[in-house]
Every structure is written in structure tokens, then in C-alpha cells.
């Protein structure tokens, strides 16, 4: 088995390296590197969007959450995240594309000024670090599971491979590899789903699906919240985090900016969202169905257990390569996003680096890798920071991002207060050791942070002079 998995992985590596080298030949300017020259057709735009969203949280996390908590445990991913793509396409893609931006930091620069651009870019870039480190951990663990290498060695190998793919061709490299990898992922999921359901239905996938639904407890078959005001508040907070918190993300908007037209950007987001919701249900159903086939399984990793029990050697090879593809596509996107912000909105504003933008873009990828890699060795501690990383974009950036696009901000103070109050109040609410049954522990931190950001925006509008700033 190890030999066949190794050969399959070798073929995968060769293809990915070839695509990376090809992508490098298409990069001549910063615009090529950061947004693929704004030339992505629909099939590449929705492919890279879908691959970026279809990460380890969707496939591995959703299956485990569905098994343990039912469908309510999968609200954040895939349901809220899929809806976020559709919302982005319907409301945000066209006006954002028309602004001809390279990063989300450029929007903050245009709407509020250079100080808000700096703060927002710094906050968002920092939020990606634990997410990148988590992908390194997952890749290292996966390599350690199937090959005789330590998890630490696996992390280094994974980081080096991801660095090569991202650094070589930037957005072109990420897009081309993403599109191929998402095809592998979807094929693997369909196969595993069909094999699992046929086990329940005596060879019939439809009968197995029906049987899995009937035997799943009623409380595991609903997305509605449990009874009570507190449960409802946290339910709303989860939907907000998934739907609204993803919208200011550089990884999402970078693909909007890279599309070849505003119409393509809109269609790509909506199409990716619909397909994501459809295929995102497969790991959810696999998790629910696993309760029947492997009722005594304890702990996470239910997909690994099912693949070992049900798949043939060729299908196991496809499954392993697909899991690696998921993690690599997520990691390259996550790595390019803060690198773009660092290069274009932070370092790129310094006069002595303006003449070498493409070189700074590439070296920023190296810098973010160097910062993220040590975090990967913190293990569980870095995984515990993922919730924090996800919430930062919602509480600190969503309000000024949305109002900067659709509203009429009056100046720098508006942006600074919105980002600062949202992030600051959220940090206090989340980090202070409140008594267990006190009011602050009964209110989701997403709600207090987002509300504070809105208050900061309104307050800034009242205090600021009637002036605007342009990107420099």
C-alpha cells in the first residue's frame, strides 16, 4: 500500500511542479503575480474559488462534526461559507471588480486613507498566520500517517512544496493547480460517498441514502438552533461568522479581482457557492452515515477510518492524493493572501521598493512562510487560535469594508475607529476572565465585536471632517 500511495503522490508532485513552472512563465508584472493579469475566464475563476473554500475544514472537519453533533455542527462549514460565496457574487463582486483593485487593502486606502490601509492590512495578514500553520500541521500529520517520516519532517516538506508553488507563479500558479486539484477532490468524495451509501442499501446508493436519513436521530437532521435565547444568539453568531466574516477576506476578493470581467467575477462566485453547497453536503452525509457503519469509532478522523475499511488500493491512492490536494490548495491560497497584503500595502508603500515590486511580491511569500512555519510546531495551541483568526475579519473589517464600498466615509478617523473599536472590544470580551454565568459569557463575541465596529464607524462619521482620501 505504501508503495502505491508513494507512486501516486510522485505523479501528483510532478504535475504540480510542471504547472508551477508553466505559471511562472506567464508572470511579468505585479498585476500578473497578484491577480493573474485580470485574465481568469469563468472556468478558472470558479475553479480556484471552489478549491480555496473546499479545504480540510470542509472535508475532514464537516464529516467529524456531522458525526458528533449532526447537521447543526456543520453550519459554519459548508452552509454559511457556501452562502458567503453567493452573497459575494450577488452584492460585492461587480462593484469591487470595477474599482480595479489588487488587494482588499487598496479599498481601505481609497475609502479611508493610508493609516487605515496599514492597520487593516496588518490585522488581516496576521489572521492568516495560524491558518497557514494549521495546514502545515495537517499536511505533516498526513505524510507521517502514510510514510515513515516524522511529523516535523512532514511539516518542513509540506512548507517547502507550498512555498515553491506559491512563489513561482503567484496567482497564476495557485489558480492552475487549484483547478486541477479540486477535480481530484470532487471525484474522490463522490467515490467514497457512493461506496459508503451502497453499504447501507445492499448495493443501491439511493436506498442507502434513504436508510441513512431514516436512522439518523431527528435532532441531528436539522440546522435550526436549540430552544432558548442564548442558543439562538450563538446560532446567529455562527452564521454571521461564516457568511459575513469571509467577505473582506483577501483570498476571496483576490479571485474576484483576477476575473476577466465583472460579469465573470459575479458568475464565478455564485457558481462556486452553489457547487460548494452541493458537494459540501457529501462529507456531511458521510459523517452521518458513519454512525451506522462504524458506531464504535471514537475520536476524529472518521474519513480515514472509512477509507481504510471500504476503499480498494487504487481508490485509497486517489483518496490520499485528494486529501493532500485539499490541503495544498488551501495553503497556497492562504499563503498568497497575506503575502500580497505585505508586499503591496505594507512594504510596497516604501519608496525604495517601488521599483522592484515583483521581487518584493515573491520575497513576501518567503517572509510569510518563515513567520508561519514556527507556529506549526505549537501543535494544539495553534489550532486553538483558528477561531480567533476567523472572527478577526468579521469584527474588525466587515463593517468598514462594506461601508467603504457602498457608503460615503468622511475620512481617516472613521476607518480607524471602526477597525479599532471592533477589534478592541472583541479582544476584551473574548480574553477577559468573565464569571461563567455572567452576561458577557452569554453573548457571542462576534455580536459585540461587529456592533462595536458599527458604532466606531458611526462615531467616526460624526467626528471626522467632510473629506476623503485616495490611494497613493
Q: pLDDT 10s per residue in the chain (472 long)?
A: 667 778 888 898 899 899 888 988 889 888 999 999 999 999 999 999 998 887 766 777 788 888 888 888 889 888 999 999 999 999 999 999 999 999 999 999 999 999 999 999 998 998 888 888 888 888 887 888 778 888 889 889 989 999 999 998 899 999 998 888 888 888 888 887 888 788 777 778 888 888 878 888 888 888 888 878 888 999 998 899 889 989 999 999 999 999 999 999 999 999 999 999 998 888 888 888 888 778 888 766 787 788 777 778 888 888 888 888 888 888 898 899 999 999 999 887 776 666 678 889 999 999 999 999 988 887 655 556 666 777 888 999 999 999 999 999 988 999 999 999 999 999 999 888 888 888 888 899 999 999 999 999 999 999 876 554 444 3
- What is the pTM assigned to this prediction? 0.90
Q: Residue 95 in contact with residue 405, Cβ under 8 Å? A: yes
Backbone angles phi, psi at 311, to 5 degrees: -90, 145
- What is the C-alpha separation between 152 and 107, in angstroms, rounded? 39
Identify the bridge partners of residue 259 per DSSP, sorted by sequence position.
Answer: 40
pLDDT value, residue 471: 41
Cα–Cα dist 370/429, whole Å: 31
Query: Domains along the chain?
Result: 2-382 (1.20.1730.10)
* Rounded Cα gap, residues 472 and 348, in angstroms: 11
Q: What is the pLDDT of residue 76?
A: 85
The residues that bridge with 40 in the sheet, in sequence order, are 259
pLDDT score of 380: 57
Amino acid 35: pLDDT: 94
The pLDDT score that the predictor gives to residue 465 is 67
Residue 260's closest CA among 125, 93, 17, 430? 93
Tell which phi-psi region holds residue 409, choosing left (phi > 0), alpha (psi between -120 and 50) or beta: beta
Alpha carbons within 13 angstroms on the beta-carbon side of residue 344 total 28
What is the separation, in whole angstroms, between the first and last Cα of the chain? Answer: 57
**C-alpha cell belonging to residue 452:** 462595536
pLDDT of residue 168: 87
Residue 414: phi and psi, rounded to 5, are -60, -50
pLDDT at 217: 84
The CA R_g of the chain, rounded to the nearest whole Å, is: 22
- At 472 the pLDDT is 39
d(Cα 292, Cα 296) in Å, to the nearest integer? 9
* pLDDT at residue 192, as a whole number: 79
Q: What is the pLDDT of residue 98?
A: 96
Amino acid at each position: 500500500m505504501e508503495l502505491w500511495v508513494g507512486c501516486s503522490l510522485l505523479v501528483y508532485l510532478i504535475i504540480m511542479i510542471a504547472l508551477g513552472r508553466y505559471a511562472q512563465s506567464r508572470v511579468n508584472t505585479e498585476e500578473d503575480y497578484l491577480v493573474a493579469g485580470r485574465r481568469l475566464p469563468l472556468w478558472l475563476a470558479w475553479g480556484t474559488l471552489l478549491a480555496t473554500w473546499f479545504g480540510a475544514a470542509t472535508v475532514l472537519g464537516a464529516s467529524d462534526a456531522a458525526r458528533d453533533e449532526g447537521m447543526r455542527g456543520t453550519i459554519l462549514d459548508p452552509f454559511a461559507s457556501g452562502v458567503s460565496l453567493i452573497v459575494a457574487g450577488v452584492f460585492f463582486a461587480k462593484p469591487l471588480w470595477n474599482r480595479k483593485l489588487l488587494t482588499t487593502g487598496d479599498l481601505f486606502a481609497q475609502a479611508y486613507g493610508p493609516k487605515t490601509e496599514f492597520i487593516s492590512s496588518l490585522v488581516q495578514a496576521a489572521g492568516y498566520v495560524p491558518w497557514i500553520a494549521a495546514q502545515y500541521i495537517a499536511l505533516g500529520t498526513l505524510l507521517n500517517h502514510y510514510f515513515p517520516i516524522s511529523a516535523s519532517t512532514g511539516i518542513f516538506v509540506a512548507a517547502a512544496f507550498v512555498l515553491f508553488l506559491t512563489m513561482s507563479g503567484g496567482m497564476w500558479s495557485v489558480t492552475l493547480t487549484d483547478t486541477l486539484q479540486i477535480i481530484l477532490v470532487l471525484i474522490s468524495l463522490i467515490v467514497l460517498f457512493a461506496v459508503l451509501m451502497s453499504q447501507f442499501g445492499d448495493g443501491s446508493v439511493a436506498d442507502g441514502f434513504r436508510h441513512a436519513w431514516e436512522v439518523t436521530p431527528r435532532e441531528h437532521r436539522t440546522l435550526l438552533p436549540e430552544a432558548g435565547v442564548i442558543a439562538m444568539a450563538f446560532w446567529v453568531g455562527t452564521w454571521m461568522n461564516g457568511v459575513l466574516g469571509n467577505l473582506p477576506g483577501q483570498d476571496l476578493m483576490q479571485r474576484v479581482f483576477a476575473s476577466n470581467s465583472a460579469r465573470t467575477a459575479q458568475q464565478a462566485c455564485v457558481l462556486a457557492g452553489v457547487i460548494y453547497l452541493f458537494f459540501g453536503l457529501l462529507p456531511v452525509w458521510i459523517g452521518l452515515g458513519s454512525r451506522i457503519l462504524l458506531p464504535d469509532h471514537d475520536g476524529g478522523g472518521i474519513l480515514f477510518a472509512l477509507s481504510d475499511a471500504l476503499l480498494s488500493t487504487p481508490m485509497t491512492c486517489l483518496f490520499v492524493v485528494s486529501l493532500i490536494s485539499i490541503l495544498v490548495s488551501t495553503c497556497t491560497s492562504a499563503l498568497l493572501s497575506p503575502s500580497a497584503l505585505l508586499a503591496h500595502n505594507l512594504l510596497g508603500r516604501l519608496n525604495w521598493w517601488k521599483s522592484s515590486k515583483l521581487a518584493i511580491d515573491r520575497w513576501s511569500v518567503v517572509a510569510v512562510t518563515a513567520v508561519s512555519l514556527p507556529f506549526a510546531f505549537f501543535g494544539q495551541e495553534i489550532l486553538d487560535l483558528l477561531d480567533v483568526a476567523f472572527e478577526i475579519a468579521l469584527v474588525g473589517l466587515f463593517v468598514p469594508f462594506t461601508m467603504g464600498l457602498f457608503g460615503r466615509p468622511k475620512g481617516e478617523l472613521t476607518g480607524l475607529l471602526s477597525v479599532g473599536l471592533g477589534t478592541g472590544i472583541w479582544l476584551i470580551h473574548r480574553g477577559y476572565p468573565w464569571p461563567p454565568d455572567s452576561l458577557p459569557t452569554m453573548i457571542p463575541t462576534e455580536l459585540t465585536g461587529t456592533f462595536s465596529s458599527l458604532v466606531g464607524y458611526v462615531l467616526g462619521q460624526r467626528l471626522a471632517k467632510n473629506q476623503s482620501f485616495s490611494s497613493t
